[in-house]
Structure 1
Amino acid sequence: MQTIKVNGYDMAYLEVGQGHPLVCVHGTLGDFRTWYAVLGPLSKKHRVIAVSLRHFFPEHWNGVGDDYRMARHVDDVIAFIEQITPRPVDLMGHSRGGHICFRVAQARPDLLRKVILAEPGGDFDPSLDPTVKPGAPSALAARVLLSVNKVREGDIEGGLQNFVDLIDGEGSWRRLPAAAKQQLRDNIYTLLGQAHEARKPYNMADMLAIKTPTLLIGGSDTTGSLSTMWREMAKHIAGAKTAEIAHARHWMFEQDPEGFCRAVTEFLAG
């Protein structure tokens, strides 16, 4: 593990392999360990740099403070990439990390060669989904709030079970191996910050602003909005490519590392 100081914060990261830099950004309750299953295969042809965002493991944050914001994490990733050479880099993000990578591509396309978004999180505004009521929380956000409330009440296991089962189906938390459960526990209080991070919804202008070659990836068995958003985004991002990982869900790179790495490496080589 190494660190780079970005915006006054020591951002931790793992770096393996040689070749063109591929910066990887984890999602909710993740950290640089999120990518363990694919670090080996991807590092055969790429210099893979997996980061831990502000307030995630190895930091053990207590949830106190007001600097857990989507905009702060976007700025941190930009500042991190600015210290990586050579540039432009390839950038990959999963879930909430996919949203961060989307915003980096929107704000600083000069830093990026290609972008990979694995079931990016977030919400649409009415310009992308006419059924959306401005200001109203999405069904997914409402369920996540249940997990947040459980954590606030001290029910860590209940909050984690609700979150994981919401994303990957009933019984998913129970089936997770011990190491995966511990990683989520290590980052549990970041969920409190996410409840108030002022994340902006995507709009049509955002989609049209993305000019960096983009791949959107999803699992064939993912359910809910996460299963449809990446497909809809691909319709509006110029030249976007898509890949579906068969028989996989939201954490597709853990459930089918070989299929996920094949899709990523083919896109980066093209």
Structure 2
Amino acid sequence: MLSTHTLAQYTADIEDYPIHYTEAGNGEILLLIHGSLCDYRYWRWQLPALSQQYRVVAPSLRGFWPTALTGRDSAFNIEQHTNDMVAFSRQLGDGQPIHVLGHSRGAQVAMALACAAPDLVRSLVLADPGFRFTYEAAGYPFPIENVAALLERGEVEQALAGFIDAVNGAGTWRQMVGWFKTMVTDNAYTLLSQAEEANPGINLEQARQLQCPILLVGGANSPARYGNRIDILANTFEQALRITIPLASHGMNLANPKAFNQEVKDFLAAHAAS
């Protein structure tokens, strides 16, 4: 069985940038795209379970650990991450469609990937998508500039606690286990760039053209704004299946991995290439 503590690391050259990733298993490809402050280590409980049936590939997006930013970088944005994942997906599957799963900010990258290159996406899983839609005002639902200011003063833990609690719910940071705190600390300074990135949002008219099967996943205890995103997407896509992971909030794949993994397995099995 794959160890969740020593994940093998590989590198792919994408647009002259080294994308670091881990992978396990064989079969149809499932691409896992992490969200803010995370990297491929975020999927430690998915790789062993899902690789029993699939070739599971989890990259660290540009600017994240193991080559994490230490300051601002204009190349850190949704558009660049999407372009990277389109090229990475095309390379992985030799141009054939693959399954794509994105969580939180990673769900925006996954959705943007599907809209930019629908031929590459066999199925799409969006877990607690937090993105805005283009008809909504730009910006975050909380003052991320305050988090950036704390980082600039070197108050890293306070900045991370503020961001994690704003995204996941009050009191989340103090409940986080050691390995998770290590991971987000490694990626702390990505928030400086994230606070300034141009966020294009998701265009529902464009997204409505997608024909691939879609699974919308929410945590039973997730903050209401994620459920609101899922409500809108469920009303947009007739083909979408919506499920809720019990006993879990925003990080449902960590809080209740057994239920999360089984729901993903069931969905993928129903939409396999054969």
Same fold (TM over 0.5): yes
- Cα distance, 1:175 vs structure 2: 1.2
Is the Cα contact below 8 Å between 1:211 and 1:238 reproduced in 2?
no
- Cα distance, 1:234 vs structure 2: 1.7
How many residue pairs get aligned? The number is 261
- Cα distance, 1:203 vs structure 2: 3.3
- Cα distance, 1:164 vs structure 2: 1.2
Aligned partner (choices 49, 69, 75) of residue 41 of structure 1: 49
* 1:28 paired residue number: 36
Structure 1 runs of 4+ aligned residues shifted over 3 Å read none
Taking the TM superposition and a 5 Å limit, the aligned residue runs for 1:149-164 are 149-164=149-164
Aligned partner (choices 86, 94, 97) of residue 88 of structure 1: 97
CA distance in 2, matches of 1:66, 1:52: 18
Is the Cα contact below 8 Å between 2:112 and 2:202 reproduced in 1?
no
* 2:5 paired residue number: none
* 2:115 paired residue number: 106
1:262 aligned partner, one-letter code: Q
Taking the TM superposition and a 5 Å limit, the aligned residue runs for 1:1-270 are 1-85=9-93, 87-126=96-135, 132=136, 134-135=137-138, 137-138=139-140, 140=141, 142-270=142-270
Task: Give TM-score, length-normalised by structure 1.
Answer: 0.92
1:100 aligned partner, one-letter code: V
Identity across matched positions, percent: 33
Is the Cα contact below 8 Å between 1:17 and 1:46 reproduced in 2?
yes
- Cα distance, 1:37 vs structure 2: 1.2
1:230 aligned partner, one-letter code: I
1:112 aligned partner, one-letter code: V
CA distance in 1, matches of 2:210, 2:199: 18
SS in 1 for 2:93: coil
Structure 2 unaligned blocks of 5 or more: 1-8
CA distance in 2, matches of 1:18, 1:208: 32
Q: Deviations over 1:220-245 (max 9, x none)?
A: 10013123212221210241111110
Task: Give TM-score, length-normalised by structure 2.
Answer: 0.91
Structure 1 unaligned blocks of 5 or more: 127-131
CA distance in 2, matches of 1:63, 1:45: 39
Q: Deviations over 1:72-95 (max 9, x none)?
A: 000000010111136211111101
Q: Deviations over 1:145-169 (max 9, x none)?
A: 3222211221111110011111222
- Cα distance, 1:50 vs structure 2: 0.4
SS in 2 for 1:217: strand
CA distance in 2, matches of 1:60, 1:161: 19
CA distance in 1, matches of 2:170, 2:262: 29
Q: Deviations over 1:89-147 (max 9, x none)?
A: 11111011000000010010111111111111211343xxxxx4x45x34x2x333322
2:44 aligned partner, one-letter code: Y
- Cα distance, 1:26 vs structure 2: 0.4
SS in 2 for 1:210: coil
Is the Cα contact below 8 Å between 2:90 and 2:120 reproduced in 1?
yes
CA distance in 2, matches of 1:201, 1:110: 21
2:22 aligned partner, one-letter code: L
